[in-house]
Chain A
């Protein structure tokens, strides 16, 4: 088998057993990228500075990753490697420091493979909002890879990276994972440091892995979780060895099926595929029961208020003074601010900044921001209540499979695609998307498993079991 087709865990195993040379793996992946990325366009930049010969394992804290390449979404700060957020604003921005996750990957023996394309500043669900180019879904020439971590998902799906990191604010890891037929986990808010992740919505953003198999997710979680003194919102917790939960066993696990999710209108093929997967879990011994959830109908509205409010403030710093773009077309300070922002930001980013500015304005704050925070508390409390009774909840990751490039022009229609993923971010809980089948167009369908705060191991165990039951070997799209 071609090395680029192997999963992260398989590569690690082969390296451990000296069955393969690290150099050959890098070459295989590099070759694959040069073959297919012209079409897929998953990467914004590649690390041309990888020197396999100079890799010395003794500098590592541990050696989980053994010199294997990891792709990073281009909103994670990498010292000396451009970090653009797929925005004109940061097209030439070269950060002087590494994000904590980047440091952790490096210290675990990982190599930065490249930076992946995304919706500008992580705002979008299709990667079409990249200021540079859209990424193409490896499973369908004219299909979006999802977003905002579309580049990361497409890179993994197309065999251009054994594993990638993405960020998830409202579904931005899980939805592209679902569209591209890979596994993607959004960890509990606070489990992974956000230091160095270019902020979109600080109270919702969370970094997580995208990979070919659940095993790889467990390995990456071992690498990236942990309290970071540089991130006050990261949480000190006894993070387990997640690979110990790669067990084919869901006996006695209580799994909730949220009524309100399934009552919504969505694609029948997605529905059938998900229900069939649920049945398989039940056959394997899980106790499956329907459950009512509160606030699902408000989640999307609350999300787009909170996320845009925080974004309007987080993105204010791009003013042309210190770094990034500065418009030439200026005569005074005011112009420098407004012209720079006019030129530097794309349409969707501007829309969200305006929305966020509006909802925080005097006279509107109570009606929008404050109310949204109340909905947030409601949803959070509801999840907490449900998880006293249930180990996990499951749903589709997305209401449909990958849509066509350019198909969704109405922003509201685009926002609606986040309906199943957004409540998870609002509550700060972890959730995974794993492939559970294909529709009749050959497009992957994603299955979402949600769990209580800091119980990623339960999610991993259920996902691993489902992966085994469904016998989902890694499939590769045909790419020419």
Chain B
């Protein structure tokens, strides 16, 4: 945005790992349950209770680390982060301080400026806190309630290097991150339910300057778009401050979604000293080469790799491959279909066209729909055989999408079979010719394109079931004879 100042952005992402049970007890992690029902003496921090590590959470974190090109620690441990807050039942969070499970990774992002490598400092495992529910606004509230259902849900904290230079890069980094986590099936990354949360650090410095400027921490951004907008706003705000020689205050600011501005949060009165020390209730984690390799070998094919394979194997355009590999589910859907109907470009057109159109219109997720790759393939076969027209196919497609019925049954039930019967079509064609003498005249005078109108009339008459190629040919022959 600027040729004077360079923007420095670092992101801190918290992702809830999608394990069945919490990180240190056997309570369910299910979202949306009655408050304080997913709790037990352990996640409530009752006196005497002790944590026991959920191995699955470690596995999920290691998968994430490996997918993001991290080094995996051979020896790692948990530490206590001490602070008082009502949503933190033990008054300390079990987290990782100096020995995270994964570190030194990176993500490559593509923006209009080209490809850019963003370092990942570390990924560590920790427990989520509960949720405070205030009566009205926090300032005027007469009381607050705490829901501890979320307490102890496993979290991966993914910290980037301050390598991000534009809000767009930040968005692309997050998109890639989310895509990767979804591919790994370690998190549903649902920002609305809070399973992916992102804080950002941003500062400006004149180009060429080595030292970072004063950074501001941004919070409360509930979508990737909000993050990009908040960063853009903050970029401008800080620039204005610098140019008018005002000091930027190191503080935490919150994004106001309605006003589209960042607002200074009541500052932390003093610097926090979390008094980290090793968690004595848990034993250190040791990861040998063998278990690391095992996890690595079991990683699913990741988005970039899959995209490149789609381009090479199916010979589809890069754009198509990019769209199709956007989620693991979509890519699976595509491949399931191609397996049954070997015309990748045709399949791609349908997936990117009708399928995504309906998904977006209905705001559905792929798993909500009733269609699968095989059903789409069956339908494409019907088109190929001439049983249905491409136009009718759209109707059939929608029907499969909502009901999951087989295309064959739909065609039969609704009588959507294409009319390729010569005699039947000839009758209709004759009628149309009789009804439109002016048009025939025009065609005879060289206005060939008017045939399209006549074909349209036939399609209208047959409710789209006529074979348009046949009808077109008939008109040409018949008019010649007139």
Bound-complex Cα distance A230 to B282 (A): 11
**A121 to B, closest residue via Cβ:** B47
A96 on the B face (CB < 8 A): yes
Bound-complex Cα distance A93 to B52 (A): 24
Question: Which one of B86-94, B231-239, B245-253, B357-365 contacts A?
Answer: B86-94
Contact (Cβ within 8 A) B49 A313 = no
Contact (Cβ within 8 A) B50 A230 = yes
Bound-complex Cα distance A249 to B84 (A): 55
Bound-complex Cα distance A432 to B120 (A): 52
Contact (Cβ within 8 A) A196 B275 = no
- Give, as a whole number of angstroms, the nearest-CB distance from B282 to chain A: 5
Q: Contacting B281 at CB < 8 Å: which of A83, A233, A317, A322?
A: A233
Question: Which one of A156-164, A236-244, A355-363, A463-471 contacts B?
Answer: A355-363
**B90 to A, closest residue via Cβ:** A317
Contact (Cβ within 8 A) A196 B84 = no
A361 partner residues in chain B, CB cutoff 8 A: 273, 275
A309 on the B face (CB < 8 A): yes
A99 on the B face (CB < 8 A): yes
Interface 0/1 of B434-465, CB less than 8 Å to A:
00000000000000000000000000000000
Interface 0/1 of B82-115, CB less than 8 Å to A:
1010100111100000000000000000000000
A33 partner residues in chain B, CB cutoff 8 A: none
A90 partner residues in chain B, CB cutoff 8 A: 47
Bound-complex Cα distance A309 to B89 (A): 19
A203 partner residues in chain B, CB cutoff 8 A: 280
**A: interface residue count bin:** 35 or more
Interface 0/1 of A85-112, CB less than 8 Å to B:
1000010010111010000000000000
B213 on the A face (CB < 8 A): no
Bound-complex Cα distance A194 to B281 (A): 9
Bound-complex Cα distance A96 to B48 (A): 11
B392 on the A face (CB < 8 A): no
B295 on the A face (CB < 8 A): no
Bound-complex Cα distance A337 to B86 (A): 9
Bound-complex Cα distance A139 to B90 (A): 41
**Main SS of chain B's interface residues?**
loop
A24 on the B face (CB < 8 A): no
A31 on the B face (CB < 8 A): no
Contact (Cβ within 8 A) A95 B275 = no
A42 on the B face (CB < 8 A): no
A417 on the B face (CB < 8 A): no
A303 on the B face (CB < 8 A): no
- Per the CB 8 Å criterion, the residue count for chain B at the interface is 28
Contact (Cβ within 8 A) B48 A95 = yes
B53 on the A face (CB < 8 A): yes
- Give, as a whole number of angstroms, the nearest-CB distance from B275 to chain A: 4
- Give, as a whole number of angstroms, the nearest-CB distance from A39 to chain B: 30
Contact (Cβ within 8 A) B46 A97 = yes
Contact (Cβ within 8 A) A232 B44 = no
Q: Contacting A317 at CB < 8 Å: which of B45, B52, B275, B282?
A: B45
B263 on the A face (CB < 8 A): no
Contact (Cβ within 8 A) A77 B84 = no
Contact (Cβ within 8 A) B48 A76 = yes
Contact (Cβ within 8 A) A232 B50 = yes
Contact (Cβ within 8 A) B47 A232 = no
Bound-complex Cα distance A195 to B47 (A): 10
Bound-complex Cα distance A317 to B74 (A): 32
B80 on the A face (CB < 8 A): yes
**A190 to B, closest residue via Cβ:** B283
B277 on the A face (CB < 8 A): yes
B86 partner residues in chain A, CB cutoff 8 A: 319, 321, 333
**B81 to A, closest residue via Cβ:** A313
Interface 0/1 of A73-89, CB less than 8 Å to B:
00111000001010000
A233 partner residues in chain B, CB cutoff 8 A: 50, 280-283
B80 partner residues in chain A, CB cutoff 8 A: 313
A231 on the B face (CB < 8 A): yes
B41 on the A face (CB < 8 A): yes
B404 on the A face (CB < 8 A): no
Bound-complex Cα distance A194 to B47 (A): 11
A229 on the B face (CB < 8 A): yes
A168 on the B face (CB < 8 A): no
Contact flag A317-B280 (CB < 8 Å), given A96-B41, A337-B84, A360-B275 = no
Within 29-74 of B, Cβ neighbours of A (below 8 Å) are at: 41, 44-53
Contact (Cβ within 8 A) B47 A83 = yes
- Give, as a whole number of angstroms, the nearest-CB distance from A86 to chain B: 13
A197 on the B face (CB < 8 A): yes
B146 on the A face (CB < 8 A): yes
Bound-complex Cα distance A322 to B86 (A): 9
Q: Contacting A77 at CB < 8 Å: which of B47, B82, B281?
A: B47
- Give, as a whole number of angstroms, the nearest-CB distance from A45 to chain B: 16
**B51 to A, closest residue via Cβ:** A232
**A204 to B, closest residue via Cβ:** B280
Interface 0/1 of B264-294, CB less than 8 Å to A:
0000000001011100111100000000000
Contact (Cβ within 8 A) B48 A99 = yes
**B86 to A, closest residue via Cβ:** A321
B280 partner residues in chain A, CB cutoff 8 A: 201-203, 233, 310
Bound-complex Cα distance A300 to B134 (A): 47
Bound-complex Cα distance A360 to B44 (A): 25
Contact (Cβ within 8 A) A369 B47 = no
B51 partner residues in chain A, CB cutoff 8 A: 232
**A203 to B, closest residue via Cβ:** B280
Within 192-237 of B, Cβ neighbours of A (below 8 Å) are at: none
Bound-complex Cα distance A370 to B277 (A): 10
Contact (Cβ within 8 A) B91 A319 = yes
Contact (Cβ within 8 A) A232 B275 = no
Bound-complex Cα distance A4 to B16 (A): 57
Bound-complex Cα distance A85 to B48 (A): 11
Bound-complex Cα distance A67 to B283 (A): 36
- Give, as a whole number of angstroms, the nearest-CB distance from A354 to chain B: 12
Within 294-327 of A, Cβ neighbours of B (below 8 Å) are at: 309-310, 312-313, 316-317, 319, 321-323
- Give, as a whole number of angstroms, the nearest-CB distance from B398 to chain A: 53
B49 partner residues in chain A, CB cutoff 8 A: 97, 195-196
**B47 to A, closest residue via Cβ:** A198
A192 partner residues in chain B, CB cutoff 8 A: none
Contact flag A317-B50 (CB < 8 Å), given A360-B275, A369-B277 = no
A230 partner residues in chain B, CB cutoff 8 A: 50, 52
Q: Which 3 A-B pairs have the closest CB atoms?
A: A316-B91, A360-B275, A202-B280
Interchain residue pairs with CB less than 8 A apart (25): A77-B47, A93-B47, A96-B41, A194-B50, A195-B48, A195-B49, A196-B48, A197-B48, A199-B281, A201-B280, A202-B280, A230-B50, A232-B283, A233-B50, A233-B280, A233-B282, A312-B275, A313-B91, A317-B91, A319-B84, A322-B89, A323-B46, A337-B84, A361-B273, A362-B273
B contacts, CB < 8 Å to A: 41, 44-53, 80, 82, 84, 86, 89-92, 146, 273, 275-277, 280-283
Contacts A317-B45, A317-B91 supplied; 5 other A-B pairs, CB < 8 Å: A202-B281, A233-B282, A313-B82, A319-B86, A323-B46
